[in-house]
Chains A and B, each alone.
Chain A
Amino acid sequence: MATAEAEPAAAPAAATRPPWTATLHGWVVTVDHKKLGILYVLMAVGFILVAGAAALMMRLQLWAPNLALLPPTTFNQFFTLHGTTMVFFVGMPLLIGIANFAVPLMIGARDMAFPRLNAFGFWATLFGGLLVYFSMVVPGGPPAVGWFAYAPLTENSFARGPGVDCWALGLIVSGFGTTTAAINFAVTTLSLRCPGMTLRKVPFFVWVMFWTSVQILVVMPPLTAALVMLEFDRQLGAHFFDTQAGGSAYLWQHLFWFFGHPEVYILVLPAFGMISEVVPVFSRKVLFGYEFMAAATAAIAFISLGVWAHHMFAVGMSRALDLFFAAASMLVSIPTGIKLFNWLATVYGGKLVLKSPMLFALGFLSMFVIGGLTGIILACAPVDLQVTDTYFVVGHFHWVLIGGTVFGIFSAIHYWYPKATGRMLSERLAKWQFWLLFLGFILTFAPMHVAGILGMPRRIYTYGPGRGWELWNQLATLGALLQAPSYLLFAYNIVASLWKGKPAGDDPWDAWTLEWATPSPPPAYNFAVVPTVRSRRPLWDLKHPDDPDWKYE
């Protein structure tokens, strides 16, 4: 058993290799944060291929007016599954998985605070996702309600089959997993930091994960409550969102977006943290303005709890509410701007190492700004009223989620893959992947902004000719076709490099945080001796004893 534990499945073929059943069993029953982190990532890669294929089909359907590649209902089911999967079973699991791997190592801990709960978090997310996909085989098929599932479309009168039930219950189950993961991160960060690592000295990614966890703890339960209400409506005949019996569709929107908007920050804050680890190492400089970055993170976590109704300007709330939520939404741009300028200041004057993690980080820095700027445009209620529910919105949030979250995630995976497996990823494939993704992503989502301004509503399965939308849709579809191989290249790269990759060594990037002081891959116990640190960059202190950081912090 211990051998199966210590021997990662990825290890090169050795004479004493255990049978594959033992290896598999070891992974299934594991409570090791590193293995669970890898499982999270693998699960998300599986889901990203499925949901990406759905996106590709939708783009092909929109290639030209009045195509009949996908029937309308199937199209609706595809965008529902695509959105739900990308948010709950790709975005969050990737971020939580990477953090699961990295956080305990970065703070000098042997594992997460609650290893069994950690395993539960993974399995609940996986089975929750499978429950959502179980709707593929139930009568009526998957839900066709969009990822934010506006009431009363989700009520029995409009969604008759059990698809919506599978969706809601799957999200409840995976929500349990996410909540327990958040508890685990918060407690691990608070309680298990190694000696000397005060909260002001944690690596920035850890700090960000702490605040992400706080957000999850506050906003995930309201989503669970809303989903429970929905299920009570559907299963027990309650009337929460049943407008015909006095229920309120408006309440669903408030409850969903009270979760849904912080969720956007839950998806992007960890990417901020990953970038904040990669950018300094590959600029060969210390992170600029750590304290300001830390305060900005907390500010984003708080402000993001008060901006949700900017998704609802078109509902017709009231002038006061519109003003409040527009102003609060714009307020977020201040701490976000602080972060951006700090990253730029870190890069500025640095000795840049343009390896794949840094490429993706630079992609993040350039693209996230654009997504942020269109976000400010959308935060203006009058503009939002014009472009709400158009492809402008679709372009905007994909720009943030791919330009921000996905680039951050790829940066982090390319950064920590050598630590997790002991092998380097192929730099050549990574560069191909980056450029295909970068160009394909711009080509897909930039035209969507134009189509949106020209009035193309989102979620339509086709459109009539002569509205001036054809060109933009064709560009977007070409972009999607350009992007698609980059994800396949990535999936191939992470598998093939297990065998073909160059041995990484303990510290391939000459980095400064504690995880690079362990072997690659780290043993089950991480640290034979729990280290003691004196600064935010303990390995810098060791490498440069004549000019250690702790003199300046």
Chain B
Amino acid sequence: MTDLSPTPDAPEVLPESAVAPPDHTAGVEGRPEPHKAGMVCFLVSEAAFFSTLIMAYVIFLRHGSAGPTPAEALSLPLVLGNTACLLLSSVTVHLAERSLRKGNVGTFRLLWAATILLGVLFLVGTAVEWRGLIRDHGLTIGVNLFGTTYYTLVGFHAFHVTLGVLSLTAVLGVSARGLLPGTAPLPVTLVGWYWHFVDIVWVVVFLVVYVLGR
């Protein structure tokens, strides 16, 4: 049963070997893998989202009225630790993917769990930092423009880290039940990309908020 029944005059339109691919998304050789392309598009939109928040932060940077300024409130040591956690987690997620590609499922799960742990550490670090900001400096979202922009930007990043930790955990759960086929399953690649993206956003946030803007 064919759609475009080729007429004898136009045999070139349908090759004889045209067989129905089994899957609805079965593509053509050489085209981008849909899920990967979709993740790239999603990350583009995420980048546009964070760019807006970062821009708002920069615009309001020197507009502080009353209340604590970045220089008074932000302290580097804790944040450096947080940053180290997140950067290290990018390394572990990369190594995890590589060991899975080599067929080493045990190492993969170990490194993947380490990534989750580092992500959780980052979130705990952020929580500690925020507690300090609120308790010691009286900085809340409503105090001044610094509080407004800071909590929005860093909060949304932390929210994305949370989503990342949940996704990483979901992949680990699926892997533990043995439902991840092959040596480079898509969920691992995609969640890995997302995690790298969250890290890159953090590098920018760190530079803008804690280095250049302080």
What residues of chain A have their CB less than 8 Å away from a CB belonging to chain B?
109-111, 113-115, 179, 182-184, 186-188, 190-195, 213, 217-222, 224-226, 228-229, 232, 236-240, 245-248, 251, 255, 517-518, 525, 527-534, 538, 541-542, 545-546, 548
Name the CB-closest residue of B to A546: B9
A229 pairs with B34, CB closer than 8 A = no
Pair A225/B49 contact, Cβ less than 8 Å: yes
Number of interface residues of B (CB under 8 A): 53
**Measured between C-beta atoms, what is the minimum distance from B28 to chain A in Å?**
5
Known: A111-B25, A191-B27, A528-B3. A541 touches B56 (CB 8 A): no
**Contact between B4 and A191, CB atoms less than 8 A apart:** no
B24 touches A534 (CB 8 A): no
- Stretch from B14-22, B69-77, B193-201 that touches the partner: B14-22
Contacts A109-B25, A251-B56 known; list 16 others, CB within 8 Å. A110-B25, A114-B34, A183-B45, A187-B37, A191-B31, A221-B45, A221-B46, A228-B152, A245-B144, A246-B63, A246-B144, A531-B4, A532-B15, A538-B13, A542-B10, A545-B10
Complex interface residues of chain B between 22 and 67 (CB less than 8 A to chain A): 24-28, 31-34, 37-38, 41-42, 44-46, 48-49, 51-53, 56, 59-60, 63-65
Docked pose: A236 CA to B10 CA in angstroms? 67
What's the least CB distance linking A176 to chain B, in Å?
A: 10
Tell me the smallest distance from the CB of A154 to a CB of chain B, in Å.
16
In whole Å, how far is B152's beta carbon from the nearest beta carbon of chain A? Answer: 6
A541–B13 CB distance below 8 A:
yes
**Could you write out 18 A-B pairs with CB less than 8 Å apart?**
A110-B24, A113-B25, A184-B38, A186-B41, A187-B34, A187-B41, A190-B31, A191-B25, A191-B37, A194-B28, A217-B48, A220-B45, A237-B142, A239-B145, A239-B148, A251-B56, A517-B3, A532-B13
Are A226 and B52 also in contact (CB < 8 A) when A239-B148, A247-B145, A529-B20 are?
yes
Min CB distance A377 to B, Å, is 31
B9, B26, B41: the one within 8 Å of A182 (CB) = B41
Q: A113 and B38 in contact (CB under 8 A), knowing A192-B25, A542-B13?
A: yes
Tell me which of A114, A183, A184, A529 contacts B18 (CB under 8 A). Answer: A529
Q: Which of B1, B19, B38 has the most CB of A within 10 A?
A: B38
Inter-chain contacts of B53 with A (CB < 8 A): 225
Q: Which of B18, B32, B59, B148 contacts A191 (CB 8 A)?
A: B32
Q: Which residue of A is nearest B20, CB measured?
A: A529
In-complex Cβ contact of A530 among B7, B18, B141, B145 (8 A): B18
In the bound complex, CA of A190 to CA of B13 (Å)? 22
Contacts of A533 in B (CB 8 A): 13
Q: Give the total number of A-B pairs whose CB atoms are below 8 A apart.
A: 164
Q: Identify which of B3, B7, B149 contacts A531 (C-beta below 8 A).
A: B3
Q: Which 3 A-B pairs have the closest CB atoms?
A: A237-B142, A545-B9, A221-B49
A248–B60 contact, CB under 8 A?
yes
Main secondary structure of the interface of B (DSSP, over half): loop
| CB nearest neighbor in B for A527 | B3
Query: By the criterion CB–CB under 8 Å, are A113 and B34 in contact?
Result: yes
Q: How far is the CA of A179 from the CA of B45 in the complex (A)?
A: 8
- Using A218-B44, A246-B145 as known contacts, say yes or no to A240 and B37 having CB atoms under 8 A apart: no
A534 lies within 8 A of B34 (CB): no
Question: Complex formed: what's the CA distance from A405 to B69 in Å?
Answer: 49
- Given A190-B31, A222-B49, A240-B56, A529:B41 Cβ within 8 A: no
Partner among B10, B13, B51, B148 whose Cβ is within 8 Å of the Cβ of A240: B148
B12 within 8 A of A: yes
Q: What's the Cα separation between A247 and B56 when bound, in Å? A: 10
Is there contact, CB below 8 Å, between B145 and A538? no
CB distance from A472 to the nearest CB of B (A): 40
Instruction: State the CA gap A195–B21 with chains docked (Å).
Output: 12
Q: CB distance B49 to A183 under 8 Å?
A: no
Complex Cα distance, B2 from A184, in Å, reads 27
Task: Give complex CA distance A186, B33 in Å.
Answer: 12
Whether A246 contacts B48 by the Cβ 8 Å rule is: no
